[in-house]
Structure 1
Amino acid sequence: MVSVYAMGGPAPQGPAGAYRVTMLDPIGDDDGPGTYTYPTDPVYVRGSFDLTKVDIEDAGDNVIFKVSVNAPISNPWGMASGFSVQMIEIYIDTDHQAGSGFTNTMAGIDVLFSSDEGWEKCVIISPQPISRVKGEVTGKSPDLASGLVVPVTTVPSAGTLIATVRKADLGAPQPGWGYQVLMQSNEGFPERDVILSRMVNEYNGQHRFGGGSDWRGDPQVMDILVPPAKGGADEISKQHEILSKYHADEDAAKIVYAVVPMVYPGASQ
């Protein structure tokens, strides 16, 4: 289901005026355009990149993002953050105005947004230190750095990552906001033009996803939200269709990137 309780709406719990959004994603679509496979190393447990639920809640001075996957959150590399494997980018359209916001994604993700669904804020949930996330974005996507928001804390709980973002950095969530959640994997030693995410290649390897291309242009995401984000089985085929509309090529001028949609929980989809 997709629920919005905002600006005095009928919130069943919590204070009057609280904003809450729940978006669901079907199980078993952690294969990008339908062809992607996990790395072979056992730390990449099946379901670790299978997005199942996203909760967003206004919590006074903060906004809480809860992103759930179809496997326990683990920390095989012993990172101080308490998790190691996932890396998530949450793109937010705060005005839903044509021609407003960014249409490119952070370096290395290789998908686009349409010009009428550009984003103003991007919350990156990464196990890397805050300073490193900011440094990577400033160095590799300087034109997008003004939209970056990094959580002050991210806490793993069972199969959920709970990220706390300062409202001063994000703004107060509104019923008209749109969201897209791109699921990737943390990479501490990324390519020179990739921000902390793991590449998809033609064939998978110990620490590489497979089923894509060794050239650039294939979507570097394992799972996304698909409107209306109710978790229906039809959203699997829709995801595959969306992410299959790309052309990878060794010639950058010939690349065609897949265009991903926003989900607007406060509007009919």
Structure 2
Amino acid sequence: MKTSRLLATALLLLLLALRTAYAQAPVIQVSDPSGDDKGPGYYGYPGADVFKPGVFDIVKFEVYVGEKTVTFKVYFRELGGNPWGGKNGFCLQQVHIYIRSDAPANVPAGSSAIALNLNFDPSWAWHYAVAIGPCWETPPEPLPRGQCAAVYRPFDVVVQDGLLKVAVEGNSIVATVDKSVFEYGDLANIKNWKFVVAVASHDGFGPLRVRPVGIGKEEWLIWGTATADDKQKVAIANAIKFGIEPRVFDIAVYSPEYPNGITAEQQYEWLSSFDPDTRTPATLPPVLAKQISQLKAQLASVTQERDSLKAQVTSLQGQVSSLQGQVSSLQSQVKSLQDENSKL
């Protein structure tokens, strides 16, 4: 009898352990390359000592779906502590999670990021944006009007401390959202949703609470040309001039197309897809931008071929004109000979 009870207890404990492990397993988990916190590939950190190496470097993103909540965890190489005492446990970062669900086609979707100078390809336009800030004010005011976390939905905004909770665990920033917030979309199908996670430098005094990008190295500006070549320096200078520079250090991505995230090189390509000529911000992912670039290249090729043909035609016309002159000269010589013969 005693042995049976021990076995039953052991089985119960095992089931509870398995249930706990299952509940704690992320439904989505992607790693992000370490050391790619360079925005479009050449950004550097502001010069102030508070910005420790790695504080803007996302290394992992996880999504947990529980019985009543959905939890998002964004891991950093180094969180950098909380030197300015943000209520949410951090103060250097501002994290955005853009989510395209399987909502019906008639549900509105956002085509651009909030304050980051980024656009989204129509197939990636977001139904939910989880914007997470350090938060100082009471009651909480949502980013970018305030500095606290919020979930932007198709028809309203959910501000933190009710259906949205924010915390810090080690070097990760954690947002836990009540399931009822995700009204438009089937959470059972979340693995087929699309996620773009972006980290900016939070600036309570900056435009829309995000730290701006500068050309040179300054104490409180993103260093926009830290490792840029001459062409990139011109590009980012023009982007800043027209207000389309990406205000992002790092992005992590998940979708059925990118189940393992994206590479550093892909990130640099995506964030470099801004176009100062048309004053268009970078597009994530740059699907249409690539198509437009390809069309421009094709047009340039066709134009070059046209110009080459025009040059050939002009050359041929010159040759024809020259031949016509030679024929005319020969005709004159023949006539002259005929006139001389007629006198003989």
TM-score by length of 1: 0.77
Amino acid at match of 2:250: D
Is the aligned partner of 1:261 residue 2:277? no
Query: Between Structure 1 and Structure 2, whose CA radius of gyration is higher?
Result: 2
Give the Å deviation of 1:146. 3.4
1: CA distance between counterparts of 2:58 and 2:259?
11
Q: After TM superposition, what 4+ stretches of structure 1 lie above 6 angstroms from structure 2?
A: 96-99
Is the aligned partner of 1:218 residue 2:245? yes
Match of 2:268 in 1: 240
Change (3 A) 1:97 1:26: farther
**Structure number having the greater helix percentage:** 2
Change (3 A) 1:54 1:147: farther
Are the equivalent residues in 2 in contact too, given 1:98–1:117 (CA < 8 A)? no
Identity within the alignment, %:
28
C-alpha distance after superposition, 1:118-153 (max 9, x if no partner): 11000011112473225718xxxxx98736454432
Match of 1:5 in 2: none
Match of 1:182 in 2: 198
| Greater relative contact order (Cα < 8 A, sep 6+) | 1
Give the Å deviation of 1:13. 3.2
1: CA distance between counterparts of 2:157 and 2:259?
24
1: CA distance between counterparts of 2:158 and 2:101?
13
Among 93, 96, 101, which residue is 2:109 paired with? 101
Amino acid at match of 1:64: T
Match of 1:140 in 2: none
Change (3 A) 1:71 1:135: closer
Change (3 A) 1:199 1:46: same
Among 54, 66, 75, which residue is 2:82 paired with? 75
Are the equivalent residues in 1 in contact too, given 2:99–2:129 (CA < 8 A)? yes
Residue segments in structure 1 that go unaligned for 5+ positions in a row: 1-10, 138-142, 263-269
TM-score by length of 2: 0.61
Among 89, 96, 99, which residue is 1:89 paired with? 96
Are the equivalent residues in 1 in contact too, given 2:128–2:153 (CA < 8 A)? no
Is the aligned partner of 1:65 residue 2:83? no
Give the Å deviation of 1:219. 1.0
